[in-house]
Structure 1
């Protein structure tokens, strides 16, 4: 398989982390299974091949082009035969700023692009050139962001930076007190902008930091990872990892091939 990553144009960097493309060999015939892992980021996926669409664990086919929200638990999707997929990773609070709806409306769910922008969905599907597809998507996203009345919240942007800076360990009470808002107001606004409560986002952030340590082999033993990320003990860390990754840290290292960040191929 071949993976490519593309940085967004300057005018989209406030909303988009990066674009990515994953494609199999044209003679691929076996079923491939990927795992979607909780990572704190919403996204978009375009499936180029009409006959080889992602299927969930109930064998239900996903739309050819769809927008998805926060993922809070791991889930497997499969695709038969050759495929090419174009994806977009947004920043955590980008959905309301671009599309004008509350992010929690898409948590653990998705919506087909044909419902949001039918003509764009058709143009993307009928366009073979990846740079042209990215250009079409970029123009659409920027146009939507310009029309949206929901600007990026400075308070939520500040909160996201502090949570990331602390690797998910910041005291949320200190955070909303610093912002000068009540806990209830902070919780409500964060969920509307990001899609999940700040406590859950912080837990996912901490999990992602530990996952990066595993990816980069920055530990001697698993208990070191648990201790360095403020888990109560190794068992607590393993339970949290299983919640967000769908398997134990040991199984993750042995059973996945992560070409795309947080979207690994399961090794049969």
Structure 2
């Protein structure tokens, strides 16, 4: 398997964090498990292999897949040859790119090809005719840029500001103070945030803390696991382990063992079934 991450073109940098590609070296005879973890970001997965198929809970997934916030560990099963392109977007992208209320796709996905704008752009046909991954990424980038320009939904500056403050603090900002700063009631703040991001400010903050702790765990920049817990404002090590299991599917120790035996991307593990 070959996994790589690529930066977006400059005109997408406020909407897309990065592209990723995953290719198998020939036919994959044994099914694989793609284990995405909660990362606070929606995105796209585009499968380009003629015989490669994604499944989730025994349900075949579309080749052009748009997904929302993932709040828990999930598994995608992959069979056949793999030639996939992923787009990891920023938390506000379902609203800012596609004009969708983000909470409609939380822990869910949809076939991107059913959107009228996709059909007008002939995205599937263009991708199937592109000879290289680079060419396909260029097509996807153009599609996203066109969609941004066509999107009539105005940016919610309040939600964008709240997002920036939560991310900058690593999920440790006092949400009550942020709400008062924005001069919103708790109910209005949560409603607007859910529509723009897909989940509540509290849950998004928890995912930010988990992701920051994951970066530290990957870098081995700690002496004891409790060091990571306290540096990221967990009450103690046991609280940290519970949160890690919720978002990653297994404990920090199990994650480290799996990541040494599997191909690891930024927010998923690719493991033999």
TM-score range, shorter chain: over 0.9
User: Number of aligned pairs?
Assistant: 267
Deviates more, 1:3-12 or 1:244-253: 3-12
Report whether the alignment pairs 1:263 with 2:268: yes
Q: Check the 8 A contact 2:53/2:80 in 1, yes or no.
A: no
Deviates more, 1:141-150 or 1:117-126: 117-126
SS at match of 2:75: strand
Structure 1 residue 259, shift from structure 2 partner: 3.2
Report whether the alignment pairs 1:206 with 2:209: yes
Structural mapping, 1:65-76, within 5 Å: 65-76=64-75
The 2-side partners of 1:72 and 1:255 are apart by 21
Q: Check the 8 A contact 2:51/2:81 in 1, yes or no.
A: no
Report whether the alignment pairs 1:191 with 2:194: yes
Structure 1 residue 124, shift from structure 2 partner: 1.7
Q: Check the 8 A contact 1:255/1:267 in 2, yes or no.
A: no
Q: Check the 8 A contact 1:24/1:82 in 2, yes or no.
A: yes
| Structure 2 unaligned residues grouped into runs of 5+ | none
The 1-side partners of 2:66 and 2:179 are apart by 30
Structure 1 residue 241, shift from structure 2 partner: 0.6
Report whether the alignment pairs 1:151 with 2:154: yes
Report whether the alignment pairs 1:7 with 2:7: yes
Corresponding residue for residue 20 of structure 1: 20
Q: Check the 8 A contact 1:113/1:121 in 2, yes or no.
A: no
Report whether the alignment pairs 1:231 with 2:234: yes
The 2-side partners of 1:27 and 1:131 are apart by 22
Q: Check the 8 A contact 1:50/1:64 in 2, yes or no.
A: no
Structural mapping, 1:111-126, within 5 Å: 111-116=110-115, 117-118=118-119, 119-126=122-129
| Structure 1 unaligned residues grouped into runs of 5+ | none
Q: Check the 8 A contact 2:52/2:83 in 1, yes or no.
A: no
Corresponding residue for residue 90 of structure 2: 91
